[in-house]
Amino acid sequence: MKKSSTPSDPSLAALLHDLSQPLTAILSNARAAQRFLSNPSLDHHAEMHDILEDIVADDKKAADIVGKLRQAIKDAEGDG
Amino acid sequence: MSLQQGTVFIVDDDPDVCRAVGRLVRGAGYEVREYNSARDFLVAHESEPPGCLLLDLSMPEVDGLQLQQSLAAAGCHRPIVFLSANGDVHNTVRAMKAGAVNFLTKPVDRDELIGALTEAFAIDAAGRAKWETRHTIAGRMATLTPRERQVLEKVVAGRLNKQIAAELGTVEKTIKVHRSRVMQKLRAGSLIQLIEIANLGGVSATHDA
């Protein structure tokens, strides 16, 4: 790994920062869903629907950022 | 699941994160209020209701550290748990030095997050209890007459009734009456309690009466 492709590179650091946002949202949504499902007495149908919608959207966001990261690493290696 | 006493105020400029973390925290039994900027939070915030702040570090305009400073400047001691997307050592140190309860790195998992919130709630409750005690005692202290206050200061400084009488130019019997009234008004059952209450009320033994 070349030195320009470590997170000390500002653009990579920014992308890693951006990636942690959807990951946080996905994990929190999944944990919330687990909690809701463990309580079968409550009807969480609407909330579960929203949670799954959000997880899909955040996963797509994360995938988009991974694509940018891949490109940034490729660019950095090309420079070296 | 039991409902926790108090509210978790979540401030994060990413609405997806705000909503998802809000769901998780609500699922753990907490009341939740969500804000997408430090400004929105500051406009709506009242320090009365108990609870803690779950605060994103990097936000546009007013960031988490600036919000922490504004609250401190306004005399609000609501405990803060920071959430940061990068484990920035410099900012972690700054936040902790300014009194943050914890500094968590995203993506944070449930147990770590709920553990930090539980700790923050305990700190908030302890701070409020302490404030209430002081407030109650200040109220009782305010009912003392200037003379009773003088007697109290001398009692706390370790003077005997006889000495106090001499110093205030009166008789021991009068001091005894003052003293028992002070005990009643401050609701102290013993000398030790009286000294404790007086200390909390700002009268200390080092005070040279």
**Identity of the residue in B1, B21, B105 whose CB atom sits nearest the CB atom of A28:** B21
| pLDDT of B111 above 90 | yes
* Burial track B17-43 (b if 16+ CB lie within 10 A, e otherwise): bbbbbbbbbbbbebbbbbbbbbeebbe
Query: A-side interface with B, Cβ within 8 Å?
Result: 13, 16-18, 20-29, 31-32, 35-36, 39, 47, 51, 54, 57-58, 61
**Identity of the residue in A23, A24, A29 whose CB atom sits nearest the CB atom of B23:** A29
Neighboring chain B residues of A49 at a CB cutoff of 8 Å = none
| pLDDT of B2 above 60 | no
> Which residue's structure tokens are 């202290």?
B141
* pTM for this model (two decimals): 0.80
Q: In this prediction, what percent of chain B has a pLDDT beyond 70?
A: 95
Question: Beta strand B80-84 with B31-35: parallel, antiparallel or unpaired?
Answer: unpaired
Q: Is the separation of the CB atoms in B158 and B195 below 8 Å?
A: no
Phi (first) and psi of residue B81, to 5 degrees: -110, 120
Whether this model's ipTM surpasses 0.90 comes out as no
Q: Is the separation of the CB atoms in A22 and A59 below 8 Å?
A: yes
Q: How confident is the model at residue A45 (pLDDT cuts 50, 70, 90)?
A: confident
pLDDT at A23: 97
Q: Over chain B, what is the mean pLDDT? A: 91
